[in-house]
Amino acid sequence: MNKLRLSKKLNNSHITFFAIAVVLFWIKTYAAYRIEFNLGIDNNLQKFLLFINPLSSALFFFGLALLFKKRTKMVMIITNFILSFLLYANIAYYRFFNDFITVPVLMQTKTNAGQLGDSALSLMSPWDILYFTDFFILIALALTVFKNVTVTNRKSFKIVLLFSITTFLFNLGLAEKDRPQLLTRSFDRNYLVKYLGAYNFTIYDVIQNVKSSSQRALADSSDITDVENYRKANYAAPNPKYFGKAKGMNVIYVSMESLQSFMIDYKMPDGKEVTPFLNSLTHDKNTFYFKNFYHQTGQGKTSDAEFLMENSLYPMAQGAVFVNKAQNTYQAMPAILKGQGYTSAVFHGNYKTFWNRNVIYKAFGYDQFFDAEYYNMTEENTKNYGLKDKPFFTESMPMLTGLKQPFYTKFITLSNHFPFAMDPGDTEFPAGDYGDTVVNQYFQSAHYMDQALEQFFNDLKASGLYDNTVVVLYGDHYGISENHNDAMAKVLGVDEITPPISAKLQRVPLFIHVPGVKGGIQSQVGGEVDVRPTVLHLLGIDTKDYLEFGSDLLSKQHRNWALFRNGDYVSGDVIQVKDKCYSSESEELMEDSAACSDIADSVNTELQMSDEIVYKDLLRFYQPEGYTPINPNDFDYLGPNAKKGTKSTENNQ
């Protein structure tokens, strides 16, 4: 009789409903961690932490529902849906980016989400509905077994809250034991999720964003002193052999969407080259090809690459500078060259609001922005994020030749974008056969872009611009994420993609074509942050007074390493991935990790200093010698039917 009463009491207890909600959500989250995320679990302690870290979050958030006497079940169900949606959003995001959603990323969706299209859908599966199974179970239980349950007192909330805090502190204590200073020196979100969980990471991220928003208000000119001293101590002087060799020439940057270096000289099983035109450029007598050049982007991807290339600063750890720090003061390439009499323009077959470009380009000093409004955006000409590359370059030429010279311009391509699907008729190049649709299609879309680039070079020659123009071609970021490692192992002909191989896969092509200058294949290690000083020195503009972290790739004093936004790095001798040190040559794990420590210190210093500049907007306190500040309010990108930009864009030829 007593057992029957106890069973009936439990079945009708709000605590029982709470416990079921917590346990179901705990199990689901842990399953998602193991199935969807590659968090680099190295030992039993990390396995245990991964298992328990969803518990404190579940206890806290579901525990809040105990404050509501009459709506306890409803609040728990709503809480479950919100947390489940956040978990699933991270799963879908991670499937391509190998990263977790942050508050700034959520802010970016206001300008970018509407144009995701097939890219977002390709990341989803019908089986994903299983991640909402517990949500439906709770609804069923609330309408049947626990239909009449209400909270009789609120003491249970206090107990649950205490248990939640205790669990979190226990979790944090163990995490600090395995990873000291976890919350103060981590540049990698994978660490935070592995040790503390996805939901606790979101809370941490919110706190960090509130903190960063206050940094600008508290900053003053004294905050820039350490950066100035570091810059002077690490300045790489230009190589006299190349300094000023391109003085007065036009400059064209071409962002090659998602192109990785393994595509250069890659041949399909039938012997066909994927990128025959780019392959030919590696042997062009006036072209420098950097074969050990790395992208350094974060969550801002293409926009981060632009930021690195034009400012020689690192992107933000969370979110994108283009969206979150567009009102800052910058001393970007267009503004620097404006002081040398250059006209500047961007060409992009997407709409100007994407990545908030119409705002931040004003801070960079771009005179004109030729966006989708200037192009023939028909259904036949567009795919994924905008205009296909071939019509893009064709339609851009009249606008390019109409610019006042010398000019500094940037072309942003789009066709080679995830998931790399091509329209029938756009290419006859065969897809790969590696058991992965995304990887297979990558070869087709890369070949199409290669054809478009060859067409562009021919158009430059026909227009008479080629012999007086420096052309910089760069891969903006990776195209194939780690989620496709099985197929990539087949592509590369290796047994598996190890951490050092994965690091080397972050290489992207960099070509710098300089008329009249002998080029060649370059083996030094560098990254996107290094391009600005390299190009400016070629143009005869010394960068010693600019606050930047790049090192001239052609300088005799060039450092031979490139960092990643998460704190890993690659050098000519060693590779550091997740605090483990590997030999660059053998790709074997080194017993003595001290070989990586010297560069690791510089990596952390540069990331921290760059963050100081960006978060505190420190360039408003600094003016390099010879630099003329620009006023963002002088620029307007009003479209083809209104007056645009500044007077310098008028053709005076």
225 carries an active-site annotation: no
Residue, of 170 and 116, whose pLDDT is higher: 170
Instruction: Dump pLDDT digits (tens) for 31-43.
Output: 999 999 888 787 8
Residue 184 has a pLDDT of: 66
pTM for the predicted model, two decimal places: 0.78
Token pair belonging to 240: 């006299």
Q: What integer is the mean pLDDT of 584-612?
A: 93
Residue 111 has a pLDDT of: 53
Residue 649 has a pLDDT of: 44
- Burial of residue 396 (CB within 10 Å: 0-12, 13-18, 19+) is buried
Q: What is the 3-state secondary structure (H, E, C) of 516-572?
A: CCCCEEEEEEEEHHHHHHHHHHHCCCCCCCCCCCCCCCCCCCCCCEEECCCCCEEEC
- 543 contact partners, CB below 8 Å, separation of at least 6: 235, 312, 532, 533, 536, 537, 552
Residue 40 has a pLDDT of: 73
Catalytic residue among 102, 282, 302, 534: 302
Range of weakest confidence among 68-72, 168-172, 441-445: 68-72
Residue 650 has a pLDDT of: 40
Residue 561 has a pLDDT of: 98
> With contact defined as beta carbons under 8 Å apart, do 249 and 545 qualify?
no
What is the Cα–Cα distance from 629 to 329, expressed in whole angstroms?
9
CATH T-level topology, domain 222-623: Alkaline Phosphatase, subunit A (3.40.720)
Q: How confident is the model at residue 390 (pLDDT cuts 50, 70, 90)?
A: very high
Q: What integer is the mean pLDDT of 501-528?
A: 98
What is the Cα–Cα distance from 34 to 444, expressed in whole angstroms?
33
Q: How far apart are the first and last CA of the chain?
A: 100
What are the Cα distances from residue 282, in Å, to 49, 83, 115, 355, 575? 48, 50, 35, 32, 25
Q: What integer is the mean pLDDT of 138-151?
A: 83
Q: Where are the domains of the chain?
A: 13-216, 222-623
Residue 480 has a pLDDT of: 96
Residue 631 has a pLDDT of: 95
Instruction: Dump pLDDT digits (tens) for 322-365.
Output: 888 988 999 999 999 999 999 999 999 998 888 889 889 999 99
Q: Please choose, from the candidates 331, 296, 332, 333, the residue with its C-alpha nearest in 3D space to the C-alpha of residue 317.
A: 296
- Got the DSSP string for 278-314? HHHHTT-TTEEEEEEEE----TTHHHHHHHHHHH--P
Residue 26 has a pLDDT of: 96
Range of weakest confidence among 10-19, 270-279, 586-595: 10-19
- Burial of residue 195 (CB within 10 Å: 0-12, 13-18, 19+) is buried
Residue 614 has a pLDDT of: 96
Q: Please choose, from the candidates 300, 342, 455, 331, the residue with its C-alpha nearest in 3D space to the C-alpha of residue 388.
A: 455
Range of weakest confidence among 143-157, 496-510, 593-607: 143-157
Q: Residues marked as binding for Mn(2+)?
A: 257, 302, 476-477
Q: How confident is the model at residue 108 (pLDDT cuts 50, 70, 90)?
A: low
With a cut of 80, say whether residue 188 has pLDDT above it. Answer: no
Q: What integer is the mean pLDDT of 210-230?
A: 88
- 642 contact partners, CB below 8 Å, separation of at least 6: 636
With a pLDDT cut of 90, the percent of the chain lying above it is 71
Mean pLDDT of the chain: 90
Residue 234 has a pLDDT of: 95
- Cis peptide bond prior to 499, omega within 30° of 0: no
Task: Output DSSP code: residue 316.
Answer: P
Helix or strand or coil: residue 214? helix
Q: Please choose, from the candidates 563, 571, 577, 556, the residue with its C-alpha nearest in 3D space to the C-alpha of residue 609.
A: 563
Q: How confident is the model at residue 186 (pLDDT cuts 50, 70, 90)?
A: low
Q: What integer is the mean pLDDT of 270-296?
A: 98
